[in-house]
Chains A and B, each alone.
Chain A
Amino acid sequence: MTKFVKGNEAVVMGALYAGCELYFGYPITPASEIAHGAAKWFPMLGRVFVQAECETASINMMFGAAGAGKLCMTATSGPGFSLMQEGLSYLAGAELPAIVVDVMRAGPGLGNVYPEQGDYTPAVKGGGHGNYQAFVLAPASAQEMCDYTVKAFQMAAKWRTPAIVLVDGLQGQMMESVSLPEKECPRPDFSAWAAQGEPKTRENLVKSIYLDAAQQEEFNIHLQEKYVRMKEDAEAETYLCEDADILLCGYGISSRIARTTAEELRKEGVKAGVFRPITLNPFPANELAKVAKGRKIMSIELDAGQFADDVRLNLAKAGLGGEAASVKMIHRMGGQVVSVDDAVKAAKEMFE
């Protein structure tokens, strides 16, 4: 079944096919269509939709629902995402699978509702307290907003971790063709650890507290080891990289601008390629190193350079310090989108 729908609607479809049983959410532009779709479709499938009183409530309702062993989700944008950071820390601390879709808007503060990618750091580096991370996916089209929402649930269940689907306002509002999954995913069994109100789960305890410092450290080490293992699920996409002299890096909407920019540059004789991380955490560092070596690198992003810094960090860690030091960036902020013209110009300047 192929449908022509908004990215925000594609998220809900993906969630339902993934087996998400509960949606908790508070309205916010430009993510609200996700709540609208969930309010309509979840009850039609006998699943639960709750409009929470605030984002703090949404994320903690997820804590309860995930703690009770069911797949659940919420969706929000910047201001709501900020409110959810404490809850994300608790979810990570109790190793609970739950999905947050952040349809990013411009900030800081109230900002505006136009597209930005300024939530990169809190999403990717663990914006709440303590040493935790979430699994972060960055789809770039309505199709991927469906597909990678499904994957977000799978990764959250596999790694017992909160997962974040990170997109921006433009992607949320954009209509594209979406080919829906063949069938619903089987439900995971969490009875080994969840509090399900059933005889077999009576001994289960969902908590993020270890009063003993040695135990808390042990738990932290366990988390960090898990995050290292998580790298096996890192995912990236490359485009026209084989003979490229310059590598354009971007995620989400920026990766699409990078794609058109690369095509335009090639029309003008500049061999450009695109590296696009699909998982932002774990960052596909090996894939980046493979295509980055010896090339000029320019990042395209809708933030102040948080993503470019991560590109540099990952290059440096891979032993490509020279490439890391020479990474250039073209960016816009405040709800403005980088134009292909400007990106082409900036890339060409790197050859002058």
Chain B
Amino acid sequence: MKVIEQKGMYTEFPRCGKPHARTTHYCPGCGHGIVNKLIAECCAELGLQDRTIFVDPVGCGVFTYYYWDAAHISAAHGRASAAATGACRARPDAVTIAYQGDGDLGAIGFNNAFQAASRGEKFGCIFINNSLYGMTGGQMAPTTLEGEKTTTTPFGRDPSLTGHPLHVCEVFNELQAPVYIARVSVADTKRIMECKRAIRRVFELQASGAGYALLEILAPCPTNFGMGAIDAASFCMNEMEREFPLGVFRDVGKGVMGAEKTVHPDSKVLAVKEVPRYPTCEALFATPDGTEAPPVEDDPGVPEMRFKFAGYGGQGILSLGICVAEAARLEKRHTLWFPSYGPEQRGGSASCSVVVSGTKIGSPTVEHPDVLVCMNQPSYERFAKDVKNGGLIIVDSSVPVCVDPPEGVELKRVPAIKMAEDFGVPKAANTMMLAALRKFKATGLKDESLETALCASFKKKPQLIEKNRTLLREAEERISL
């Protein structure tokens, strides 16, 4: 067979499994065959074959990699737009083209396609609408016309049961980000010429990195329409175009059909901050952010201490735990901190656990704390019974101690909340508790480490550092042993 002209396509299609195949797998009269040729021509004529990444769909278009002479990624059903998002983000200089059908884009993958359009991903989506699932066997698609018979609407699509045809271009035209949205057809020569111009535009926009483009192409499927090629093309022109009018919905810089989005002059757009940039990971993470610490050192002589801090959210319980952890890591101990998390943190109670050790820490959970700090009654009732024999409970004086602590456990009552109020800083009740921990020598950590850690916890509010240092010292003087 003599090939008249073949641009952008392989001259033979060995990827189909037959070494010298020169015919496509498409049925006679199928719109895909025409569109495949137009896409290949545009890609080649614009000199973009080396730069193009085609993201192939599932459906009749799955085998475009047999034909188009460019790099391909063959995606999962419905996911070509998600995969194209990944590809165009990974290779911003490439020309990324997703090719999808109406089951693929309109049904299973609609949200992926829609969200990619909404984000303004820099790829072109060429969407073949033939009003049904082709390869799968002619089932109803979201684009199936009212009354159209398919293998899953044997009596014709009944809108009262299955809704109305989905107008993809019109829906996408509600979005702000796309730079190009158009619907064309390949039902006759005039339309094919128009289709080629539109495909060319999609490639041009991608080559210049303009943004997201959607091109819907109405295409006949004679096999599943159950018609000859001529009748199928007529169906496309008469029935489908009535439902899906052709036209350019928008083209950046060329005027638009349909809704044009303008920003209201009074709208207050929140400003996007400039992202600070670093050349390397080392540079980024060497920039101090308060989380750096000296390397951990093993010291088998240091016994393991387990702490539990509990109270209401807002009492600074988590910060108190972090302070103790911070002090421990200043002393190069193995240290572990973890909070109660999830819905718990949004409700009333908060708690956190801290483990400090001279050697590698095994189990992270604090089943039997050496020290329990309680700032409310529920915490006391929940955790006091678990404290280790020989351990210590520090509880706020406002908490009624209805249950005795376990045998061998010392109980200290500290008026942390009241003291903080007396100092005129009700939020500093946790600092009062830190003072108590220091006064009772309860942490096994140095006084200065605890103080340094407290100051470090206010790194974002430096004006409070000295105030809290003073509070810590004054509180410690007031707390009786």
Contact = CB atoms under 8 A, between A and B. Distances in A.
Interface of A: 1-5, 13, 16-17, 21-22, 24, 29-30, 41, 43-46, 48, 50, 52-54, 56-57, 60-70, 72, 86-87, 90, 94, 112-114, 169-170, 173-177, 179-181, 183-184, 195-199, 201-209, 211-212, 215, 253, 256-261, 263, 337, 339-341
Contact of B76 (A60, A203, A258): A60
Contacts of B376: none
B158 interface: no
A15 B76 CA distance: 26
Interface stretch (B147-155, B249-257, B280-288, B377-385): B280-288
B90 interface: yes
A113 B282 CA distance: 33
A169 B293 CA distance: 24
Given A174-B336, A212-B17, A22 B90 contact: yes
B89 interface: yes
Interface stretch (B28-36, B362-370, B414-422, B439-447): B362-370
**A interface secondary structure, majority:** mixed
Contact of B89 (A61, A87, A197): A61
Interface string B329-367: 100001111110111000000000000000011111101
Given A43-B275, A68-B94, A22 B82 contact: no
A343 B56 CA distance: 53
Contacts of B265: none
- The CB with the most chain A CB atoms within 10 A, among B17, B293, B362, is that of B362
Contact of B90 (A13, A65, A258): A65
Given A4-B293, A339-B367, A64 B82 contact: yes
B55 interface: yes
A203 to B, nearest CB: 7
**Top 4 A-B residue pairs of the complex, sorted by shortest distance between their CB atoms:** A197-B94, A64-B86, A260-B362, A64-B83
B276 A61 contact: no
B338 A113 contact: no
Interface in B33-71: 49-53, 55-56, 62, 65, 69-71
B53 A195 contact: yes
A180 B286 CA distance: 10
Contacts of A202: 49-50, 69-71
Given A46-B277, A63-B76, A29 B89 contact: no
B296 interface: yes
Nearest to B94: A197
Given A2-B296, A60-B75, A211-B17, A173 B85 contact: no
Nearest to A142: B336
User: How extensive is the interface on chain B, given as a class?
Assistant: 35 or more
- The CB with the most chain B CB atoms within 10 A, among A86, A195, A215, is that of A195
Contacts of B49: 202
A263 B90 CA distance: 49
B365 A337 contact: yes
Nearest to B85: A61
- The CB with the most chain B CB atoms within 10 A, among A87, A169, A184, A202, is that of A202
Contact of B282 (A22, A53, A112, A183): A183
B295 A64 contact: no
A276 to B, nearest CB: 11
B72 A53 contact: no
A43 B278 CA distance: 9
27 contacts: A2-B295, A3-B292, A4-B293, A29-B341, A45-B278, A53-B112, A56-B79, A57-B79, A61-B86, A63-B82, A64-B55, A64-B84, A64-B87, A65-B87, A68-B87, A68-B90, A72-B86, A113-B341, A113-B342, A169-B342, A179-B295, A184-B280, A197-B71, A198-B51, A207-B74, A263-B362, A337-B365
A62 B73 CA distance: 12
B73 A63 contact: yes
A204 B87 CA distance: 14
Given A44-B275, A60-B75, A202-B50, A197 B93 contact: yes
A214 B292 CA distance: 57
B95 interface: yes
B341 A174 contact: no
A206 B74 contact: yes
B354 to A, nearest CB: 9
A87 B78 CA distance: 12
A180 B83 contact: no
Contact of B72 (A114, A198, A205, A215): A205
- The CB with the most chain A CB atoms within 10 A, among B49, B119, B291, B343, is that of B291
Interface string B232-252: 000000000000000000000
Contacts of B87: 64-65, 67-68, 195, 197
A306 to B, nearest CB: 21
Contacts of A48: 89-90
B73 A54 contact: no
Given A2-B295, A53-B115, A207-B74, A65 B86 contact: yes
Contacts of A184: 280-282
Nearest to B340: A173
B325 interface: yes
A40 to B, nearest CB: 9
B73 to A, nearest CB: 4
B294 interface: yes
